[in-house]
Amino acid sequence: MKKVSLLLALLLVLVVMAGCAAPAAAPAADSDSASTSEEAAPADDAAAESDAAAEDDGIYIPVISKGFQHQFWQAVESGAEQAAADYGVEITFEGPETEAMVDRQIEMLQAALAKNPDAICFAALDTQAAIPLLEEAQSRGIPIVGFDSGVDSDIPVATAATDNVAAAALAADKMAELIGDEGQVAVIVHDQTSRTGIDRRDGFLNQMEAAHPNIEIVNVDYGGGDQLKSTDLAKAVIQANPDLKGYFGANEGSIIGVLNAITELGKEGEIVAVGYDAGAQQLDAIRSGVESGAITQNPVGIGYKCVEAAVKAINGEEVEKVIDTGFFWYDADNIDDPEIAALLYE
């Protein structure tokens, strides 16, 4: 009887153990399910990465200007954005706070290169400072397109800009005509490091020397394109040269400084002011007669053509090395002509 009881007890233990062991299969199934889910996750990540890569397939072109302090650059930006829309590419447009901030512009160029863009549009504040970075871009197969202001290098595949030497020579001829081809004239330029500063200064001075020998250049200053600094410089020159007959300002900030000085010193009608570019204050001064006239570039065209050239370079198409975007003389007589008005900005 004891043996039977013992056997029954053993059988009962075995049944209980079997019953307890049965649910153990469930975690195994859950484990397999989890494993399958974990294996699926990388596939989802890969799909996400593929989608991101697809988004990155679009063309990206950073556009780095010389600054934002003048309306000129906003007009250039509008042209660049129009080209980006027409060609279906992405651009960013930036520039330092002032046109004296060469180091800040170099930092922007470094940051642009770090994003591995398809091309870069670049308006150099200094014709030499950016060359090492442009050489890096060239070594990585990133086309550089200059705009407005080029560099002393063959690295840019194209440069979209005004022929500033010829434009400034026209300004010199107009100045000479307005002052009777003789007398004293002063010049204020935005800088002596950018291609535009150098070319406008030399274009004006060389034309005066070659074609108008009876005109004396009494002073050449550099105001950094800053209106306040240019005003102070111009006032000092006017006060030091009581017989001054003319003043040339080589960009928007420079000529506004000249206009401020003329107005503050009560010299309206005594000094012939000739400027460059546009802007509300300059346009008002031309209409009122305080300024005799100015050279207008085609800022919208400059912005458009630089992005267009970058897209062509990326696609392996041939581009012109120098893209001349044109210039015009305007004064009170033609300021409202449709051809001129389309190039002016306020």
Domain match, 114 and 95 both: yes
For residue 47, with 0-12 CB atoms within 10 Å meaning exposed, 13-18 middle and 19 or more buried, which class applies?
Answer: exposed
How many domains is the chain partitioned into structurally? 2
Domain match, 223 and 158 both: no
* DSSP-assigned letter for residue 159: E
CATH of the domain at 113: 3.40.50.2300
Where in the sequence is the domain holding 259, given as residue range(s)? 164-296
**Whole-angstrom distance, CA of residue 190 vs CA of residue 102:** 13
pLDDT over 70, % of the chain: 84
Domain match, 130 and 243 both: no
Domain match, 156 and 76 both: yes
- Summarize the confidence of residues 261-282 as an average pLDDT: 97
Say if 6 falls within a structural domain: no
The model's pTM is 0.79
Domain match, 90 and 154 both: yes
pLDDT digits (tens, 9 = 90+) for 2-45: 333 333 333 333 333 334 333 333 333 333 333 323 333 333 34
pLDDT digits (tens, 9 = 90+) for 142-199: 999 999 998 989 999 999 999 999 999 999 999 999 999 999 999 999 999 999 999 9
- Torsion sign, CA atoms 186, 286, 97, 169: negative
- Torsion sign, CA atoms 32, 33, 38, 44: positive
pLDDT band at 70 (very low <50, low <70, confident <90, very high): confident
Cβ distance 261 to 238 under 8 Å?
yes
